[in-house]
Structure 1
Amino acid sequence: MTTPFPFTAVVGQDDLRLALLLNAVSPAVGGVLVRGEKGTAKSTAVRALSGLLPEVAAVPGCRFSCDPGAPDPGCPDGPHEPGAGTARPARMVELPVGASEDRLVGALDIERALAEGVKAFEPGLLADAHRGILYVDEVNLLHDHLVDLLLDAAAMGASYVEREGVSVRHAARFLLVGTMNPEEGELRPQLLDRFGLTVEVAASREPDQRVEVVRRRLAYDADPDGFAARWAHEETAVRARIVTARELLPQVRLGDPALRQIAATCAAFEVDGMRADIVMARTATALAAWAGRTEVLAEDVRQAALLALPHRRRRNPFDAPGLDEDKLDETLREFGDQGQSDDDPDPDGPGGGGGQPPAEGPQGGDDAGSAAPEAGDGGEPQPAGAGAGEQSAVRAAEPFRTKVLSVPGIGTGAAGRRSRARTEHGRTTGARRPRGALTKLHLAATVQAAAPHQRARGRRGPGLVVRRDDLRQANRLGRESNLVLFVVDASGSMAARQRMGAVKGAVLSLLLDAYQRRDKVGLVTFRGSAGEVVLPPTSSVDAAAARLGSLPTGGRTPLAAGLLRAHEVLRVERLRDPARRALVVVVTDGRATGGPEPVAAAGRAARLFAAEGVASVVVDCESGPVRLGLAGQLAGELGGTAVTLDELRADSIAGLVKDVQRRVA
């Protein structure tokens, strides 16, 4: 097993290291969500943290790591008598993105439970992580129901498994750390709020610091054991500091002035609910203990706000994370104790880096965390070499709630909220023999299958004799997510500023709907002489909104080229993710003026989608008193349906879903 990279050898990333250490001091803070681009030492820092945690004593033979001094009275392996235990290192357990619910929470042996009445329980990752670290890389790609289970267990300190009247509960207290790349999609605001702290990380733009990162990484790769030995002193010092801070934590006093600052700060930034106040209080207390103090100061409250509030102010996927530090300082001054000042912070306190020698140059992320411009900011300079009629990007109109567009039929794709599908969660519609491991038992069908054979099996008592071939898997009907591919006309016929603003507003509204329904999105545009993939299929709808906001217009209308490019995107995506069905949304007035025989070519391209049964909707952007109805003709060629911009609104297109299904079927 390779020696992990030392935590204290990580260059920069002070906020990341501080947030992890605060949770090591006080797991009640609620875990850390680390957001940032790839290659910024997110996973390296998290994996290195386990080496700093003090050893834990566990009851010998207990699969749930019970504390021998205070064993869990409800432990499935218990009861345990208090006594001496076996010391072992704190574990770090990784939850893979593709994990099943049974792998996370554990699984009951349903066959033995029915036939023998015993709780034969196989622990999951939550049990393995008890009293250690549970690390979820790419947490934004984890299925929502798994994230819900994970965060519920972290909040309650226990995991519950309920299956057909048989229940198991065990302790599950762990330091929860999730990492994610926002370019691959966002977590829902409700889930963001469940993480105690969040940290934005980015690679440093300072050459000296980047040189030091490379130097240390090469040294580690060449000799992991030797490199770790050179940092052993710093690792030991931080480990001892964590132990000292844990012992000091119960003595830390959170006075009324600090509490007033916390409450005023949360109110000033209009965060929802009371979880932010509680997390800030716990974080400020941990900061004081980490600095070796027994009194919470204003500087602790300030640092706690910077770690606990930014992600709680994000209410939709197009909001930029972050906190106005001038407003924060003003609030703290207004409600702070006059005897405290954060002009002279403790150099050995929270910013001290946990014993790491300070790196030269500014810390990573100081200039890389600025938010991307909101969709439709406008003002983009005109591209070089723009032809006649070229226009810069225009601001999108205000988004609105749209009607649900869904793919007809029943799919088997990833769980979501758009189209009907066979899923692990949803309404039970029938039963079948299980293929592979049984996950969702259909109890009535199982009993019905076993009942006729009881006499032949020699049943003598009240118990039901159940065999493997009696078991029945429940068929469940729920909702799946889809690939929503936008094909947007950016030609000169759409270039009128008021009109293009309305078009962008409609697409932005559909992107919001895709975010809420957990879809992947892609964006293809066509103008001039070609179609262009502006955004390949991704889960990051805010990335799509940013590309939409900077989209210029002008030139001819190569409708066929845009459709053919979209068809190619679907072909490639079908190879990558064959279970995910697509919904193509073409936003155009239906004109075709680019390329040879533009109208006939557009018709041929559209019929490719119809021949493959791809669900499609044409958003008709034609305006004015005289309308040619070209978008409706295009919808007919696609085998889809056409709606106007006005009809797209939720309060004005009754029956659209039925129309889509009828036209595509």
Structure 2
Amino acid sequence: MRHYPFSAVVGSDDMRLALVLTTISPAIGGVLVRGEKGTAKSTTVRALAELLPAQQVVAGCRFGCDPAAIDNACPDGPHDVTDVTTTRPARLVELPVGATEDRVIGSLDLEQALGAGRVRYEPGLLADANRGLLYVDEVNLLHDHLVDLLLDAAAMGRNTVERDGVSISHAARIVLVGTMNPEEGELRPQLLDRFGLTVEVAAPRNPALRAEVVRRRLAYDLDPDGFAARYDEAQEATRTRLAEARELLDGVVLGERALLKIAEICAAFEVDGMRADIVTARAAAAHAAWNGRDRVVKDDLRAAARLALPHRRRRNPFDAPGLDEDLLERLLNDLDDDPDQPDPDPTPTPDDPKDPDHPQPPASPDDPSGRDEQEGQGQPSGPQETPEPGHQDRTDADDADTDAIDTGTAPRLALAAAGKPYRTRRLEARGVGTGDAGRRSRAITTQGRTVGAGLEGRTLHLPATIRAAAPYQAARGRSTGKLRLAAGDLRRTVSEGRESNLVLLVVDASGSMAARRRMEAVKTAVLSLLLDAYQRRDKIGLITFRGAEATLALPPTSSVDTAARRLDELPAGGRTPLAEGLAMAAEVLRRERIRDPRRRPLLVVVTDGRATAGAEALPRATRVAGHLASYDAVVVDCETGRFRLGLAAGLAATMGADLVGLGEIGRDEVSAAGRTIVDTVKDRLSTDPRRKAA
């Protein structure tokens, strides 16, 4: 059965262009396709492989060596020009999310290495994908260290295995293509930057286009071969155009003015490092070749910047990727269609803003007209808000620390904005877990310090292996010579490191939390905890409760930016249904334990401990809290003021949870408090007369 044709894909022009450009110039560094589910991401990537030309390879080489460019370091070598060659189709290798490191980079046959003294290397997926496409669906769900390996191999063009005292290296010239759904979590900015191009895809909103997508898909499902045959002519035209663009690429000229404009654009968008400039230049050259030009022009710069820069503008996980199209057009406005044509004015003056030898800084995005800063100085640029009659600023003393009272009218809801997040102290689960590698709680993982030996692990534990094999040497007929090993003798290192957890945040959004502007501090603290969870590779869940019910604002996910948006939209007001919030937390934790039993949960309840919704609100909350005693938990006490009820402390005691004050969440605040205590003790000791006499 033939794949869905690349030429039959409806819409998704940016995605198809990005895939074409990185196929023309693999040095661009691959493509990351971000989009909602059901947008033909996987279909389009798989269809691209059929457009690639067949390859000549050395017969019998497991690494697909090119006979025209012999790899002298090939583990199956040495090869020479007399070797038999064969032809194979261009490869598309798919990497599953659950792949292990050994399956990706390859592994050594340890029985052969230790028993027979021979090094035998079993190639991995990187070897299979050499000179082809390596496709990673849901790349954001892949372990970070595997993503690092893939990106390093794509950038260097080689895969090197350094393990157990043996070094193996082979060619891995791959075009890396990753797809992801942002709702399931983001990649770290460092990893995003390593992808050359990125593109956002979404389902079309035009009913006619949607109908055409359905029509073509149904036709393909009924007769895949017949449907693909109808696009053979378009497929061949695209295949020919790709081959011609590859031939033309090395001759494309990137002139000085075009190169300067690329640097100007990257500087204006404040991207970090120089990778953006390099990728934009390569993509612009590939775009010119794709359009049959031998020189980079304005349209090439525009297309390259739109694909190479959006994902490099993210500074923290709460920033959404994107590009200011208006700013890009303003930066390109002073260019002709061909930026390297001679200037029509043969004698430009140094003050001429079009003089290429005296480039001018781009206009500020806040002042596109380039007006003098003094113009209108001191005058507001927009309409001013006029306070309503009788309005006055509220102070902390004006707010009552009470819940809304049922008066027959809807309670007043406050929508507070979170402040700037800060570094938090590490909240962690007790004991030692066995979850996936992360940065929060202690666990037996594949990375960390060696604490023992066992049958499972990442690397060989040689002393334990020898001890396991030693008692059986006589029975295996060994009198002298090499150690005789069996598969059951191999022992692996057991490492203790850190694991990622499920951090379930349960946030009180009732009227008592809105009092004294407390909700702003609460949202800032929760936002800081979200940032901390992102950095520690945790899954995040968010439950809020107010009025008469609790709401699962965000089911457990890795997408902390989605949690931040839900938090920002969270209003405060009404009564406090504490029991309902804790009951929903218990249900979410129960479901997640069934779904992922190895991932330990950490429950974080942000509340002042009050319960006012419904009959016997506080006793009900106490009973539900008792059911959560089996989970590791932290209660963040939000109660402030001189007179405190201490209800959060009682809740923490019932749950067997740690109690942390709202002001103690920040690491800096904790350090400052510790320094104050130390300084106080030092002052007392320095003024103690008994210490002076001594």
- Look up the match of 2:690: none
- Look up the match of 1:424: 446
Report the number of matched residues. Answer: 607
Q: Is the 8 A contact 1:299 1:341 kept in 2?
A: no
Q: Is the 8 A contact 1:387 1:555 kept in 2?
A: no
The code of the aligned residue for 1:445 comes to: A
Task: Select the residue among 416, 419, 428 that pairs with 1:397.
Answer: 419
- Look up the match of 1:117: 117
The code of the aligned residue for 2:424 comes to: T
- Look up the match of 1:481: 500
Find out whether 1:518 has 2:540 as its counterpart: no
The code of the aligned residue for 1:311 comes to: H
- In 2: Cα distance, 1:549 partner to 1:496 partner: 18
- In 2: Cα distance, 1:456 partner to 1:182 partner: 58
- Look up the match of 1:508: 527
- Look up the match of 1:232: 232
Q: Is the 8 A contact 2:298 2:337 kept in 1?
A: no
Change in CA separation of 1:479 and 1:513 when aligned onto 2, cut-off 3 Å? same
- In 2: Cα distance, 1:595 partner to 1:430 partner: 54
Instruction: Quote the offset at 1:423 in angstroms.
Output: 1.0
Instruction: Quote the offset at 1:37 in angstroms.
Output: 0.2
Find out whether 1:591 has 2:591 as its counterpart: no
- Look up the match of 2:682: none
Query: Matched residue of 2:51: which SS?
Result: coil
- Look up the match of 2:166: 166
- Look up the match of 1:9: 8
Q: Is the 8 A contact 2:256 2:340 kept in 1?
A: no
- In 2: Cα distance, 1:457 partner to 1:233 partner: 66
Q: Deviations over 1:231-271 (max 9, x none)?
A: 00000000001100001111111111111011111111111
- In 2: Cα distance, 1:152 partner to 1:460 partner: 46
The code of the aligned residue for 1:402 comes to: T
Find out whether 1:495 has 2:514 as its counterpart: yes
Please, which moves more after superposition, 450-459 or 92-101?
450-459
Query: Matched residue of 2:497: which SS?
Result: strand
Instruction: Quote the offset at 1:295 in angstroms.
Output: 0.6
- In 2: Cα distance, 1:157 partner to 1:486 partner: 43
- In 2: Cα distance, 1:146 partner to 1:61 partner: 28
- In 1: Cα distance, 2:181 partner to 2:607 partner: 33
Q: Is the 8 A contact 1:632 1:641 kept in 2?
A: no
Q: Is the 8 A contact 1:33 1:195 kept in 2?
A: yes
- In 2: Cα distance, 1:123 partner to 1:258 partner: 43
- In 2: Cα distance, 1:386 partner to 1:559 partner: 22
- In 2: Cα distance, 1:521 partner to 1:394 partner: 22
Instruction: Quote the offset at 1:455 in angstroms.
Output: 5.9
- Look up the match of 1:532: 551
Query: Matched residue of 1:179: which SS?
Result: strand
- Look up the match of 2:365: none
- Look up the match of 2:375: none
- In 2: Cα distance, 1:38 partner to 1:189 partner: 22
The code of the aligned residue for 1:554 comes to: G
The code of the aligned residue for 2:65 comes to: C
- In 1: Cα distance, 2:515 partner to 2:327 partner: 40
The code of the aligned residue for 1:188 comes to: R
Q: Is the 8 A contact 1:508 1:545 kept in 2?
A: yes
Instruction: Quote the offset at 1:274 in angstroms.
Output: 1.0
Q: Deviations over 1:255-309 (max 9, x none)?
A: 1111101111111111111111111111111011111111111221121111001
Find out whether 1:569 has 2:568 as its counterpart: no
Find out whether 1:653 has 2:670 as its counterpart: yes
- Look up the match of 2:291: 291
- Look up the match of 1:356: none
Gaps of 5+ in 1: 343-384, 657-665
Q: Deviations over 1:555-581 (max 9, x none)?
A: 111111110110000001111000010
Instruction: Quote the offset at 1:210 in angstroms.
Output: 0.7
- In 1: Cα distance, 2:441 partner to 2:230 partner: 56
- In 1: Cα distance, 2:512 partner to 2:156 partner: 58
Q: Is the 8 A contact 1:606 1:638 kept in 2?
A: yes
Find out whether 1:641 has 2:658 as its counterpart: yes
- In 2: Cα distance, 1:581 partner to 1:480 partner: 9
Query: Matched residue of 2:517: which SS?
Result: helix
Q: Is the 8 A contact 1:525 1:562 kept in 2?
A: yes
The code of the aligned residue for 1:236 comes to: E
Q: Is the 8 A contact 1:139 1:178 kept in 2?
A: yes
Query: Matched residue of 1:251: which SS?
Result: coil
Instruction: Quote the offset at 1:181 in angstroms.
Output: 0.3
Instruction: Quote the offset at 1:654 in angstroms.
Output: 5.6
- In 1: Cα distance, 2:408 partner to 2:573 partner: 9
- In 2: Cα distance, 1:655 partner to 1:55 partner: 65
Query: Matched residue of 1:485: which SS?
Result: strand
Gaps of 5+ in 2: 342-406, 674-694
Query: Matched residue of 1:523: which SS?
Result: strand
Query: Matched residue of 2:69: which SS?
Result: coil
Q: Is the 8 A contact 1:411 1:421 kept in 2?
A: yes
The code of the aligned residue for 1:424 comes to: T
- In 2: Cα distance, 1:417 partner to 1:640 partner: 21
Change in CA separation of 1:461 and 1:308 when aligned onto 2, cut-off 3 Å? farther
Query: Matched residue of 1:507: which SS?
Result: helix
- In 2: Cα distance, 1:451 partner to 1:71 partner: 44
Query: Matched residue of 1:425: which SS?
Result: coil
Q: Is the 8 A contact 1:394 1:497 kept in 2?
A: no
The code of the aligned residue for 2:96 comes to: P
- Look up the match of 2:461: 442
Instruction: Quote the offset at 1:388 in angstroms.
Output: 3.1
Query: Matched residue of 2:448: which SS?
Result: strand
Q: Larger relative contact order (C-alpha < 8 A, sep ≥ 6)?
A: 1
- Look up the match of 2:578: 559
Instruction: Quote the offset at 1:457 in angstroms.
Output: 4.5
The within-5 A match list for 1:344-493 is 387-432=409-454, 434=455, 439-451=458-470, 454=473, 457-459=476-478, 463-493=482-512
Q: Is the 8 A contact 1:65 1:131 kept in 2?
A: yes
The within-5 A match list for 1:6-155 is 6-83=5-82, 85-155=85-155
Instruction: Quote the offset at 1:340 in angstroms.
Output: 3.5
The code of the aligned residue for 2:308 comes to: A
- In 1: Cα distance, 2:113 partner to 2:476 partner: 18
- In 2: Cα distance, 1:209 partner to 1:17 partner: 17
Q: Deviations over 1:564-601 (max 9, x none)?
A: 11000000111100001001110111111112211111
Q: Deviations over 1:200-243 (max 9, x none)?
A: 00011111111111111111111110110000000000000110
Task: Select the residue among 618, 641, 651 that pairs with 1:624.
Answer: 641
The within-5 A match list for 1:236-255 is 236-255=236-255
- Percent identity for Structure 1 against Structure 2: 64
- Look up the match of 1:350: none
- Look up the match of 2:175: 175
Q: Is the 8 A contact 1:431 1:474 kept in 2?
A: yes
Q: Is the 8 A contact 1:199 1:307 kept in 2?
A: yes
- In 1: Cα distance, 2:234 partner to 2:444 partner: 53
The code of the aligned residue for 1:395 comes to: A
The within-5 A match list for 1:330-349 is 330-333=330-333, 336=335, 340=339
Instruction: Quote the offset at 1:338 in angstroms.
Output: 8.3
Q: Is the 8 A contact 2:164 2:459 kept in 1?
A: no
- Look up the match of 2:601: 582
- In 2: Cα distance, 1:388 partner to 1:492 partner: 12
Query: Matched residue of 2:194: which SS?
Result: coil
Considering only CA atoms, is the larger Rg found in Structure 1 or Structure 2? 2
Q: Deviations over 1:595-639 (max 9, x none)?
A: 2211111111111111x2x11111111122211111111111111
RMSD: 2.0
Instruction: Quote the offset at 1:471 in angstroms.
Output: 1.5
